[in-house]
Amino acid sequence: MIVVQSSSAVTPQPAEGIAHPARAELELAAVLHALSDPVRLRMVAALAGDDGEHTCKSFDVPVTKSTCTHHFKILREAGVIHQRQAGTSRLNALRREDLDARFPGLLTTILQAASAPHETA
């Protein structure tokens, strides 16, 4: 299962219909809303665990596939994650650089808060 990645500048592919907001267009309210759901918070925490890309399947959340897709859409449209197609899978990655540039420290602080005692649910 080797994914062939081009060595050239891949150009932030729109990937045929997967729309992502530009860095300058990230809205704080949207980001906070995206992170205000326990399921999504868990997803983001998992993504932040190792900065790699995760398939949708690799998340341990108590919802169905449909709901997962829905949550990923919210996260993507808020600019929290980036989605990239790779075969039958869709790889999800945290847009950490963009978020840090736009809202310095926000992501880190929220993830810390999320892993605080009594909040590990």
Partner DNA sequence: CAGGAGATACGATGATCGTCGTACAAAGTT
Partner DNA sequence: AACTTTGTACGACGATCATCGTATCTCCTG
Residues 59-78 that bind DNA (CB under 7 A): 62-74
Q: How far is CA 43 from the centre of its chain?
A: 8
Site string for DNA, 71-110 (x = CB under 7 A): xxxx--------x---xxxx--------------------
Please give the C-alpha separations between residue 100 and each of 39, 52, 58, 60, 65, in angstroms, as whole numbers: 22, 17, 25, 26, 29
Q: Which does 106 bind (CB under 5 to 8 A by kind): its own copies, DNA, none?
A: its own copies
Single out the residue of 29, 62, 87, 97 in contact with its own copies (rule: CB under 8 A): 29
φ, ψ of residue 81 to 5 degrees: the values are -125, 165
Compute CA distances 70 → 7, 11, 52, 67, whole Å. 32, 26, 21, 5
Between 6 and 120, CB nearer to its own copies: 120
| 37: contact with its own copies by CB under 8 A | yes
List CB contacts of 72: < 8 A, sequence separation 6 or more: 43, 56, 81, 83, 90, 92
Query: Scanning residues 97 to 116, which ones bind its own copies (CB under 8 A)?
Result: 102-106, 109-110, 112-114, 116
Per-residue contact string for residues 10-29; x = within reach of DNA by CB under 7 A: --x----x------------
Q: Which two tokens stand for residue 50?
A: 């190792």
The stretch near its own copies (CB under 8 A) out of 8-16, 21-29, 53-61, 67-75 is 21-29
